[in-house]
């Protein structure tokens, strides 16, 4: 596997606000495939926002209304 330089991606989340991820693209030789990994830096505001979302029960793909029903 070949790793390239670190890339920063920014996302405007409707509930958590602005998020920032470290993005690495890993190239898998002889397959033409790539594995793209997005991580919140430890101790970052993005990590804290994800923890708040998890504590409030907002699962990936759910809306606040759906989460409130569960």
Tens place of pLDDT per residue across the chain (70 aa): 555 667 899 999 888 889 999 998 888 889 989 898 999 999 999 999 989 888 887 655 666 555 444 4
Task: Output the CA–CA distances (angstroms, integers) from residue 42 to 13, 24, 31, 46, 59, in the order listed.
Answer: 19, 16, 32, 9, 21
Alpha-carbon distance of 12 to 19, in angstroms, equals 6
**């890993």: which residue's tokens?**
26
Q: What does the alpha-carbon distance between residue 16 and residue 68 come to, in Å, rounded to a whole number?
A: 16
Q: Can you tell me the distance from the alpha carbon of 15 to that of 32, in angstroms, rounded to the nearest whole number?
A: 36
Global pTM value? 0.60
């Amino acid at each position: 596997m070949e790793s390239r330089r670190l890339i920063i991606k920014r996302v405007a989340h409707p509930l958590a606000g602005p998020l920032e991820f470290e993005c690495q693209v890993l190239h898998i030789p002889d397959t033409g495939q790539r594995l793209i990994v997005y991580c919140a830096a430890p101790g970052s505001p993005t990590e804290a926002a994800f923890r708040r979302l998890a504590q409030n029960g907002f699962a990936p793909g759910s809306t606040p209304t759906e989460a409130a029903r569960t």
